[in-house]
Amino acid sequence: MSDAQIAQHALRCLDLTDLSDNCTDQAIDVLCRKALDPRGPVAAVCVWPQFVKQAQEALRGSPVRIATVVNFPAGGEDVERVTDDVQEALSDGANEIDLVLPYDAVRRGDLTVATDMVEAVRDLVDQGRLLKVILETGELRDAQLIATASRLSIAAGADFIKTSTGKTPVSATPEAAEIMLDAIKASGRDVGLKPSGGIRTVADARIYLDLAERIMGPGWATPQRFRIGASSVYDTLIAAIEGRDDPAATGAY
């Protein structure tokens, strides 16, 4: 596919994200306007829990879903606290929960803690809402640990497995994504992949789309099964769709 076609595909699979530490109401308004661009719309916006209600109002009547994060970014092990946060986010209008797996527990071999966390959140995320489990692959590092975290999350009920929070030195990598896709394929379950963090160019998006198509088959990478989590790639995708090279030239946004 051409760069413009890849950009169009990636835009519709985008979880347009603002999880910056200094995020404001105004920034969420801008994010939601971008999400509704007629060349998309994007699949979802991903925002801090305190902005879920605002995003819901801004996106009311649109197909754009509202994702938020819990247990983020540290991946703690307090299941009760996390489930309280999930209940609040769902009541505020979140359609999708991006849960950070207790990855330190996985690293030390305590898989029960991680499984209990995912299962407890899975019990709350129902009625067409999605659970995405963030493995934090850049911290797990080891291929076997990434594979273990992938299989554990899938078995415990994840709808998607996601590479990263974007808050660590190493975010999404093709190597980690390949391990995760292999685990999805081996499971036989209808589970999606979300590479997240560090995806800034059309070439980056192409790598992950090509990887998904190679392992899972042509046509697999739709917004129902494939997302790209990014905050900075939007303008680049729009520029490519329009045949421009300079993302800084993008409109009023």
Q: How many CB atoms lie within 10 A of CB 158?
A: 28
DSSP code of 226? B
> What residues are annotated to the active site?
98, 162, 194
What are 37's two structure tokens? 């661009």
Please give the C-alpha separations between residue 45 and each of 56, 170, 180, 189, 230, in angstroms, as whole numbers. 10, 22, 23, 25, 10
Q: What is the C-alpha separation between 128 and 200, in angstroms, rounded?
A: 30
The Cα 145–Cα 127 span in angstroms is 31
Let me know how many helices (H) and strands (E) the chain has, helices first. 11, 8
The β-bridge partners of 44 are 15, 65
For the chain, give the number of residues.
253
Beta-carbon count within 10 A of 67 CB:
28
**Is 48 strand, coil or helix?**
coil
